[in-house]
Amino acid sequence: MSEMEKPIVKISCQNLWKVFGRNPQHALNLIKDGMSKEEVLEQTGHVIAVRDISFDVTEGEIFVIMGLSGSGKSTLIRCINRLIKPTMGRIFIDGVDLSTMSGAKLRRTRRHKVCMVFQQFALFPHRSVVDNAAYGLEVQGVEKAQRKKRVLEALEMVGLKGWENSYPDELSGGMQQRVGLARALAVDPEVLLMDEPFGALDPLIRRQMQDEFINLMSVVHKTIVFITHDLNEALKLGERIAIMKDGQIVQIGSPEEIVSVPADEYVTEFVRDVPRSKVVSVRNIMREPELKLYRWQGPKVALHAMSEKNIRRAFIVDSWGRLSGVITLNEVARAIVRHVQRLDEVAREHALQIGPDQAIEEVIPLAASSDNPVAVVDEGGRLIGEVPRVALLLGMMGKENSNDTT
Amino acid sequence: MTPPSTSPNEETETAEAVPSKKITQRPFFQALIWLGVAGFVILLGWLLGDYRGGFYQLPLGGWVNTGVEWLIVNWAVFFDVIKDVTAAVLNNLEKFLLWLPWWSVLALIILLAWRLAGRRVAIFTGVAMYFIGMLGLWDLSMSTLALIATAVLISVVLGIPTGILCAYSDHVDAIERPILDAMQTMPAFVYLIPALMFFGIGKVPGVIATVIFALPPAVRLTNLGIRQVPVELVEAAHAFGSTSSQLLFKVQLPMALPSIMAGVNQTIMLSLSMVVLAAMIAAGGLGREVIMALGQVDVGRGFVAGTAIILIAMVLDRVTQSLGKVRRRAKAA
Ligand SMILES: Nc1ncnc2c1ncn2[C@@H]1O[C@H](COP(=O)(O)OP(=O)(O)OP(=O)(O)O)[C@@H](O)[C@H]1O
Ligand SMILES: [Mg+2]
């Protein structure tokens, strides 16, 4: 974790503004003079759809933009590939400024680098599934055999093998969006812009598509800007989430930050119904282990230490601090009776364990299956904490780490 | 404001549909312009016309005569070129149709009907066309077919690009609309005479008059078809980096095809309805048969020729009606 390379910024939006209306510059000046969005709309009929938005998306990240209807999400994402020209501000992809780009250069970027998936699928009804998926390559001028090969690959990736010659209106919503996804993937772009791609699907299909999407994205490495107004979807897919309101971003953060530390009332309202156990990670509720015993220590030492701390169970680690088992007070007592020399001769090998970045939700079944505390171990297998049941309950209620007294 | 579905520019924005409420000058300006135009017309009338029964008399008819004369003198080469090209297409087509033995033409037409519209229409076509032959009107029908085909060809060649232009620009559309209205509602005799003056007696003015009457649906339905392509699809095409011609040929035209074909179908029907009128300026064909029958008060002969026209109309209608629709099934199969 500590020695990660510096993340590469893939998309960078800097002070983006979009005003719809006859004279955007005038409306912009009014705003700068302190007029409110509503007043501008009232007096000049201009809509401030995107308002001074800045953010960076790093390479390979899934960046989710969330907000209520009309908050400017679609406008913002369309600024990124310049389907909409921003009134002010700049957009960089790989450090290249798109905000001033036009003509052939812009087309080249759209053909090779940035593809889009639409809420209403936007498939061409007069083209079959293959021909739809091939559109991007066709526009690029890729020759036919090559095109076909890549399109079939993309269709297979999204699970549409065998449907090549169907037409969009013969497919269900979920399958239509797979075509939409294949159309974008066939081009093999570095960036995917997705405007509520699963918004038009019913909940069951939507969840299935989300899962498949996550799997797919772990195979093809893409930078993704994903729009949704469904918080659960955002929490599930997003590495970072930006919350939009009235054309502005009110908070950017990891799912956990958004849920645990909402920036304002609006976000609080948004995340009120989220089960905390889904997003709060174990790290936030774990404690220092109360007692670490070493494999080579004897049962008498263990008994002494345990009775001193008045605990009935302790984790056993090796000389490098790696978790190797768990032992109870009873087992220690029996070991003393049997004249055992080292704890590792009697310890149970399998302690319940979990990583610090997993959601609390995942600890619950573990904790329910036994009354031993759950051990928290890092990637090296070292014991870094434990989750007692009390902490788990408190964590689910939103009071993580409040009883750190040791 | 341009319609979003049609802008050819990849930098296009989706419709910015917020009219400014505060610009109160606009209606005022418009009123002023209209007042100005009205004043100008009255002034002209006052200067150039005489004054009769309370109205300033506008010598519009005189102006038109002057204009037509001027055109005939100064644009003679232009009209001659049109005349020669049209005549060449028409005459060669007619000669070809009459040169082929009747059964091979019949076979060709049946085959065409079968490929385009299926077996039932093919059978109907065969029966109807053979029946026309039985009426003794085969040769005249071929002349009429050649005339219609030429007129339709010209209408399509002019109409579809014009329709595309109208779809792309609201200004062009606004100008085109009243012109198309005029073309369809102006009594045909009114332009039949100038057509004679420009192109002389014969088939060419007949074709031109037919084109004037039959062109509008080709333009209108092309325009409509392209404007009806959903904004999202145009957006998707742009998002994948289409050029404007890729957008037009890969998305807009294919999607507008059923509408365009409906337009072509209407154009064909309208041009058929002009055959009698065109015959009045010696365009020949079945139309002349009708006119001769009228002149001789031969009701039976008129009825026979009329029946042949109806049969041709039905055949052409059935065959072309299915044009925009069959494509996809054929391709899927
Ligand atoms: N072409 C346009 N002309 C005028 N106003 C527009 C245009 N497009 C969007 N708007 C306005 O801009 C604001 C933001 O719209 P946008 O479509 O970006 O919202 P959204 O967050 O995507 O909403 P939804 O969840 O409904 O898709 C809205 O108030 C909308 O009315
Ligand atoms: Mg939207």
Verify that B96 and B140 share a domain, yes or no. Answer: yes
How far is it, in rounded angstroms, from Cα B115 to Cα B248?
A: 27
Verify that B37 and B176 share a domain, yes or no. Answer: no
The reported pLDDT for the residue numbered A395 is 72
Q: How far is the CA of A30 from the centre of ligand 1 (A)?
A: 20
Mention the CATH class of domain A3-113+228-233+240-274: alpha beta
- For the full predicted model, state whether its pTM sits above 0.95: no
The reported pLDDT for the residue numbered B28 is 79
- Which residue lies with its CA nearest to atom 26 of ligand 1? A69
Indicate whether B317 pLDDT > 70: yes
CA distance B218 to chain A (A): 21
In chain B, what residues touch A126 (CB-CB under 8 Å)?
254-255, 257, 328
How far is it, in rounded angstroms, from Cα A404 to Cα A99?
A: 51
| Closest ligand 1 atom number to CA of residue A247 | 14
Q: Note the helical H segments in A255-397.
A: 255-260, 265-271, 276-279, 299-309, 329-337, 363-369, 389-397
Contact state of B21 with A45 under an 8 Å Cβ cutoff: yes
Contact state of B10 with A106 under an 8 Å Cβ cutoff: yes
Verify that B109 and B197 share a domain, yes or no. Answer: yes
Residue B7 lies in a domain: no
Across the range A134-163, mean pLDDT stands at 93
Q: Which residue of B has its CA nearest to A79?
A: B13
Verify that B93 and B224 share a domain, yes or no. Answer: yes
How far is it, in rounded angstroms, from Cα B218 to Cα B267?
A: 6
Indicate whether B314 pLDDT > 80: yes
**Quick check: A106 contacting B, CB < 8 Å?**
yes
In chain B, what residues touch A77 (CB-CB under 8 Å)?
none
Residue B107 lies in a domain: yes
Nearest Cα neighbor of A340 from A301, A290, A307, A292 is A301
Indicate whether B324 pLDDT > 80: no
Verify that B146 and B88 share a domain, yes or no. Answer: yes
The reported pLDDT for the residue numbered B5 is 42
Name beta bridge partners: A97. A92
Q: Which residue of B has its CA nearest to A128?
A: B332
**pLDDT-based confidence at residue B140 (cuts at 50, 70, 90):** very high
Across the range B60-83, mean pLDDT stands at 89
Question: Over the stretch B105-125, which tens digit does the pLDDT of each residue have?
Answer: 999 999 999 998 889 999 999
**pLDDT-based confidence at residue B48 (cuts at 50, 70, 90):** low
**Quick check: B239 contacting A, CB < 8 Å?**
yes
The reported pLDDT for the residue numbered A268 is 86
Ligand 1 site, CB within 6 A = A 20, 47, 49, 67, 69-75, 229; B 14-18
Verify that B145 and B181 share a domain, yes or no. Answer: yes
Q: Which of A40, A73, A80, A246 is the pocket-test mutation for ligand 1 (most atoms within 8 Å of CB)? A: A73
**Quick check: A155 contacting B, CB < 8 Å?**
no
Q: Which of A16, A18, A20, A245 is the pocket-test mutation for ligand 1 (most atoms within 8 Å of CB)? A: A20
Q: How far is the CA of B139 from the centre of ligand 1 (A)?
A: 64
Residue B5 lies in a domain: no
Across the range A155-180, mean pLDDT stands at 92
- Lowest-confidence segment of A106-120, B4-18, B128-142 by average pLDDT: B4-18
Candidates A21, A120, A127; nearest CB to B20: A21
Indicate whether B45 pLDDT > 90: no
SS (H, E, C) chain B: CCCCCCCCCCCCCCCCCCCCCCCCHHHHHHHHHHHHHHHHHHHHHHHHCCEECCEECCCHHHHHHHHHHHHHHHCHHHHHHHHHHHHHHHHHHHHHHHHCCHHHHHHHHHHHHHHHHCHHHHHHHHHHHHHHHHCCCHHHHHHHHHHHHHHHHHHHHHHHHHHHHHHHCHHHHHHHHHHHHHHHHCCHHHHHHHHHHHHCCCHHHHHHHHHHHHHHHHHHHHHHHHHCCCHHHHHHHHHCCCCHHHHHHHHHHHHHHHHHHHHHHHHHHHHHCCHHHHHHCCCCCHHHHHHHHHHCCCHHHHHHHHHHHHHHHHHHHHHHHCHHHHHHHHHHC
CATH architecture of A282-396: Roll (3.10)
Across the range B82-100, mean pLDDT stands at 92
Indicate whether B13 pLDDT > 60: no
**pLDDT-based confidence at residue A220 (cuts at 50, 70, 90):** confident
- Which residue lies with its CA nearest to atom 25 of ligand 1? A69
Can you give the residue range of the structural domain that contains B228?
Answer: 75-332
Question: Over the stretch A58-85, which tens digit does the pLDDT of each residue have?
Answer: 999 999 999 989 999 999 999 999 999 9
Nearest Cα neighbor of B125 from B325, B274, B313 is B313
**pLDDT-based confidence at residue B21 (cuts at 50, 70, 90):** very low
Residue B60 lies in a domain: no
Residue B118 lies in a domain: yes
Q: Which residue of B has its CA nearest to A74?
A: B14
Verify that B23 and B94 share a domain, yes or no. Answer: no
Verify that B223 and B320 share a domain, yes or no. Answer: yes
Indicate whether A406 pLDDT > 80: no
Structural domain tally of chain B? 2
**What percentage of chain A exceeds 90 in pLDDT?**
45
Q: A177 — phi, psi (to 5°)?
A: -70, -25
In chain A, what residues touch B22 (CB-CB under 8 Å)?
43-45
Q: What are the sequence ranges of the domains in chain A?
A: 3-113+228-233+240-274, 282-396
**pLDDT-based confidence at residue B51 (cuts at 50, 70, 90):** low
Contact state of B233 with A124 under an 8 Å Cβ cutoff: yes
In chain B, what residues touch A45 (CB-CB under 8 Å)?
18-22
Question: Over the stretch B289-298, which tens digit does the pLDDT of each residue have?
Answer: 999 998 999 9
Residue B119 lies in a domain: yes
Verify that B34 and B183 share a domain, yes or no. Answer: no
**pLDDT-based confidence at residue A405 (cuts at 50, 70, 90):** very low
Indicate whether B65 pLDDT > 80: yes
How far is it, in rounded angstroms, from Cα B288 to Cα B277?
A: 9
* Chain A, chain B: beta-carbon pairs less than 8 Å apart: 102
Q: How far is the CA of A197 from the centre of ligand 2 (A)?
A: 10
B60/A176: higher pLDDT: A176
Verify that B41 and B90 share a domain, yes or no. Answer: no
The whole-chain average pLDDT of chain A stands at 87
Question: Over the stretch A341-361, which tens digit does the pLDDT of each residue have?
Answer: 888 777 776 778 888 888 888
**Quick check: A240 contacting B, CB < 8 Å?**
no
The reported pLDDT for the residue numbered A240 is 94
Q: How far is the CA of B232 from the centre of ligand 1 (A)?
A: 14
Verify that B96 and B165 share a domain, yes or no. Answer: yes
The reported pLDDT for the residue numbered A35 is 84
The whole-chain average pLDDT of chain B stands at 85
The reported pLDDT for the residue numbered B49 is 62
CA distance B31 to chain A (A): 22
Q: Which of residues 13-72 of B touch A (CB under 8 A)?
A: 13-14, 16-23
For chain B, give the number of residues.
333
Question: Over the stretch B206-256, which tens digit does the pLDDT of each residue have?
Answer: 999 999 999 999 999 999 999 999 999 999 999 999 999 999 999 999 999
Question: Over the stretch B93-106, which tens digit does the pLDDT of each residue have?
Answer: 999 999 999 999 99
**What percentage of chain A exceeds 70 in pLDDT?**
96
Q: How far is the CA of A228 from the centre of ligand 2 (A)?
A: 9
Residue B2 lies in a domain: no
Q: Which ligand is nearest to the CA of A76?
A: 1
Neighbours of A108 (CB within 10 A): 13
Verify that B42 and B132 share a domain, yes or no. Answer: no
Q: Which ligand is nearest to the CA of A71?
A: 1
Indicate whether B23 pLDDT > 50: no
Nearest Cα neighbor of A64 from A221, A253, A218 is A253
Indicate whether B332 pLDDT > 80: no
CA distance B164 to chain A (A): 19
B269/A393: higher pLDDT: B269
Residue B160 lies in a domain: yes
Across the range B161-173, mean pLDDT stands at 94
CA distance A385 to chain B (A): 50
CATH number at residue B114: 1.10.3720.10
Nearest Cα neighbor of B158 from B106, B82, B232 is B82
Most confident of A333-347, B29-43, B138-152: B138-152
